[in-house]
A and B are shown apart, each in its own frame.
Chain A
């Protein structure tokens, strides 16, 4: 078809999410792009209001419910922020257990997203359900790995979702060391499945579109930053302390989105696996670097579709790093710790990386230890602006080469690549073409 005949009106309506609806709108007229919008239209969820008046210990468990996938991340970030507000110091044992719990969540989330949501696009099926018919071995492997990750979370968190073992200053019930040893063996036994995962992702044809942007993530001097660090920008090649997070996110509103948008040193920024791999590549474990090389992920990488590949690299990193940390637990044992503390007035801010990017929590308490103010800035809201900028850049590039159906699919794949917590969001959408 001649470019001048390409008058498209794409309206991917009802891109729903756990907490809302989203919509992709693309309009072209005679080969010229008229409008590109990513619209999020869900109402606020008011978690920051729910926790007002609550006791400090309740907050991490309540805010875990913000997300069924990033529940560990919300709990960890809230725990750290509340501890900062109350001046609570934690032991190296507690930090180790929290890092283990954190990495279990990365495995759960990335494996679910890559296998169940991203891979079906590339293999030409509409979801994991038909994929089970066409590629049963792929889905069986996905299920094995996902179950391992779920069990991993349960060993350290007490259950696979919304864990209850972690609390302020320590652990309510320490993991059973026999279960830890069994988990370590299962992690090692899963290495062939990880290698097969790299093998299949390597065969996927990732769309070749690139747009230079700012990558923002935590950065830590001693390790690949997932649990702790300062806020690093790929634009300035420098980091700022987490308590300056409002200067990073600079949240603002736009008319077509109920989600707040963010920007830092340019119009938008990217958070998530690709940002972390770009910013902290040198601190990945050797096995993860080898996976990146095998998958053709060279940093800096400005192709947002490669975020799914970066997730696989992080799966490899977390698997091998978990074995190392499990050895540390088994070598040193675990001991019960005093988790008592005094409540007081205070203000605390903390950040963790969660699978979809950098997460900030901020709490203030009065002299009775009751929460009087709270704020959370989640990764998806930071990314939405960047997704729309990508769409605006890519649609003119794609338009000459693609039919309306192909363009629609690529826009959906782009949004999916970011793995947004726009629930139920980005798979098998009902697409309505507007006359």
Chain B
């Protein structure tokens, strides 16, 4: 992921509260926003559908780091940071519906409609995303180290 010269990144947490580790993106960005130097660049998109993701990106017109739970085939709790151009994000093009429009479809819509800024994805492999309140115990333990990794990436990009 390249650095971005105007240091104008937004850090966007997405996910679903009450979806177990699907909340990790929200939890990390919420924690990051408590740090003064990052407070103004942090945004939470709870339960955002494709329309919300796409319209937000088109409105912001800024480079973003999306923080979310992602099934990447890693060990649970591991993270990866990658560009949306460098990963095949599974699209639900065969099942688009009122219930089936998610982050991947939102990114695709935004790209098609002219959003040309950098999208970095900080993905965390979840332990469990079945319906329950809060992160799993295992993920909660990893939260400080994941936050440190996210901060490290943010500071690197802003240099």
- Chain A contacts to B: CB under 8 angstroms: 16-18, 65, 68-69, 109, 112-113, 116-117, 126-129, 132-133, 136, 139-140, 142-144, 146-147, 150, 159-162, 419, 421, 423-428, 430
Contacts and interface: CB of A to CB of B under 8 A. Distances in A.
Interface stretch (B3-11, B54-62, B69-77, B120-128): B54-62
Contacts of B109: 128-129, 132, 139, 143
Contact of A143 (B46, B58, B96, B99): B58
Interface residues of B, number: 30
29 contacts: A17-B99, A69-B98, A113-B98, A117-B96, A117-B98, A126-B93, A128-B96, A128-B109, A129-B96, A129-B109, A132-B109, A133-B112, A140-B113, A143-B109, A146-B49, A146-B52, A147-B51, A147-B52, A147-B56, A159-B47, A160-B47, A160-B48, A162-B18, A421-B99, A423-B99, A423-B100, A424-B97, A424-B99, A428-B96
Contacts of A428: 93-96
A103 to B, nearest CB: 18
A17 B101 CA distance: 13
A245 to B, nearest CB: 25
B105 interface: yes
B67 to A, nearest CB: 18
Interface string B13-52: 0000010000000000000000000000000001111011
Given A142-B51, A147-B51, A161-B46, A136 B97 contact: no
Contacts of A126: 93
A109 B98 CA distance: 8
Given A147-B56, A161-B47, 9 more contacts: A116-B51, A116-B98, A132-B113, A139-B109, A140-B113, A147-B52, A421-B98, A423-B98, A424-B95
Interface in B78-110: 91-101, 105, 108-109
A107 B95 CA distance: 22
A146 B96 CA distance: 16
B61 to A, nearest CB: 13
Contacts of B144: none
The DSSP consensus for interface residues of chain B is: loop
Contacts of A430: 94
A117 B101 CA distance: 11
B4 to A, nearest CB: 25
A136 B54 CA distance: 13
Given A160-B46, A160-B47, A162-B47, A117 B97 contact: yes
Pick from A127, A150, A423 the residue with the most CB of B within 10 Å: A127
A150 B48 CA distance: 9
A160 B47 CA distance: 8
Contacts of B97: 117, 423-427
Interface in B101-158: 101, 105, 108-109, 112-114, 131
Nearest to A355: B98
Give 4 closest A-B pairs by Cβ, nearest first.
Answer: A161-B47, A424-B95, A146-B51, A143-B55
Nearest to B92: A424
Pick from B98, B101, B105, B114 the residue with the most CB of A within 10 Å: B98
A129 B51 contact: no
Nearest to B108: A129
Contacts of A65: 18, 131
A160 B112 CA distance: 25
A143 B106 CA distance: 10
Contacts of B59: 147
Contacts of B18: 65, 162
Nearest to B96: A127
B95 to A, nearest CB: 4
A153 to B, nearest CB: 10
Contacts of A116: 51, 96, 98, 101
A69 B97 CA distance: 11
A133 B54 CA distance: 14
A96 B62 CA distance: 38
Nearest to A71: B47
B88 to A, nearest CB: 15
A16 B94 CA distance: 11
A427 B95 contact: yes
B112 A136 contact: yes
Given A424-B97, A426-B97, A143 B51 contact: yes
Nearest to B45: A160
Nearest to B56: A147
A374 B18 CA distance: 23
A136 B93 contact: no
A112 B109 CA distance: 14
Contacts of B55: 143-144, 146-147
A65 B17 CA distance: 12
Contacts of A147: 51-52, 55-56, 59
Contacts of A133: 112
B106 to A, nearest CB: 9
Pick from A116, A159, A425 the residue with the most CB of B within 10 Å: A116
A67 to B, nearest CB: 8
Pick from A109, A426, A428 the residue with the most CB of B within 10 Å: A428
Contact of B99 (A69, A140, A146, A159): A69
